[in-house]
Amino acid sequence: MDNINHPEHYKGKTEVIEMIEQLTEGMEGKKAYMLGNVVKYIFRHEKKNGIEDLKKASWYLNRVIDNEN
């Protein structure tokens, strides 16, 4: 197992990093960072920290929403 390049809690049919790169393409700064974290925490929650990760995803998403207003 390679916890640096391919950690188990981010594995699926597509690497999470590739989804984050697609989602944030063309974005800059805080918004890209926060939306990347939303994706990261949602995808890893079942294999890592459960409800805590979902709460973190929610926290980051709420920050994005608040900054859009």
Check whether 39 has a pLDDT greater than 80: yes
Query: In the structure encoding, which two tokens stand for residue 3, read together?
Result: 């916890």
Are 39 and 23 spatial neighbours (Cβ–Cβ below 8 Å)?
A: yes
Assess contact for 23 and 59: CB atoms under 8 A: no
Handedness of CA 6, 9, 13, 15 (dihedral sign): negative
pLDDT at 15 over 90: no
pLDDT over 90 percentage in the chain: 68
- pTM, to two decimals: 0.79
pLDDT at 58 > cutoff 70:
yes
Residue 61 has pLDDT above 80, yes or no: yes
